Structures are given as structure tokens and as C-alpha cells.
């Protein structure tokens, strides 16, 4: 299956969610207020930024195929961005704060997007995950 980069539905949906989170104000008494205002941007970091990064890599010939993002292509920026934004950043930028729940939101967004990008392979008959599901 060919990855569509900036036309990928996960990318488009996540970008729309991010834009909405910047312009739609949720009532503070709402159950989803904290997630919407504080963690949604972190949750969609990987599904929004990674397709852009992979598209640029493809344009420069650093990415040789158009397959959906592989685990290593997701984990590497996840680790690098977590270190930069949540560990190193607060030491160098006075307005930045270290919030380890942000890292959890990055991770959850990465897992969800990885699943959507690779669900055909994950659920194929011979995959590791399908064999585990058969035993349950």
C-alpha cells in the first residue's frame, strides 16, 4: 500500500483536530477540557509532523519507498522530540516546562497513528499480532 504523505487521512484528520483545538474553546467544566486544551496538540504531533518529515525525506531521496511509516520511522522522532521538547527545552527556554504527560501523549498518538498506517499488515493472517489474537 502506498503512503500518501500530505494526503494521508490520518495526517489530514489530525491536522484538522489540531486547528480546531486552537480555535474552539471548550467549557472549563467539561470532562474533555484538560485533554483538549493541554494534550491534544501533543497527541497529534506524530501524525501531523511525521508525514511532513517523511515527505521531505522522500523529496531529497533519503526515503527510498512510499510504504506507510515503519516503527523505526515513528520511534526515532518520538524519542528525539521528547528529549528536545520535554527534557532539554525547559533547561534552555525559560517559558518551556517539562511535562512528562506530554511524552505520554506523543507516545499514544504515535501508537494510534502507527496502527492506522499499518493496520493491513498488523491484521494480516500471518502477522505476529494476528497470531497473538488467535490465541486469546
Say how many domains are in the chain.
1
List, for residues 85-100, the tens digit of each pLDDT value. Answer: 999 988 898 888 888 9
| pLDDT at res. 17 | 94
Q: What is the pTM of this model?
A: 0.86
Domain limits for position 71: 5-135
Q: Is the pLDDT of residue 20 over 80?
A: yes
Place of cell 516503527: 71
Alpha-carbon distance 73 to 130, whole Å? Answer: 22
- Please state, in angstroms and rounded to a whole number, the distance separating the CA atoms of residues 56 and 82: 21
Amino acid at each position: 500500500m502506498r503512503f500518501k504523505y500530505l494526503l494521508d487521512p490520518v495526517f489530514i484528520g489530525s491536522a484538522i483536530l489540531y486547528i480546531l483545538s486552537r480555535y474552539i474553546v471548550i467549557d472549563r467544566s467539561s470532562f474533555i477540557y484538560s485533554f483538549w486544551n493541554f494534550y491534544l496538540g501533543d497527541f497529534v504531533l506524530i501524525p501531523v509532523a511525521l508525514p511532513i518529515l517523511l515527505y521531505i525525506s522522500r523529496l531529497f531521496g533519503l526515503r527510498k519507498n512510499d510504504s506507510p511509516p515503519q516503527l523505526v520511522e515513528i520511534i526515532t522522532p518520538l524519542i528525539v522530540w521528547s528529549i528536545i521538547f520535554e527534557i532539554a527545552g525547559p533547561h534552555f527556554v525559560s517559558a518551556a516546562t517539562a511535562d512528562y504527560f506530554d511524552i505520554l501523549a506523543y507516545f499514544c498518538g504515535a501508537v494510534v497513528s502507527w496502527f492506522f498506517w499499518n493496520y493491513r499488515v498488523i491484521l494480516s493472517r500471518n502477522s505476529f499480532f494476528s497470531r497473538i489474537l488467535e490465541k486469546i
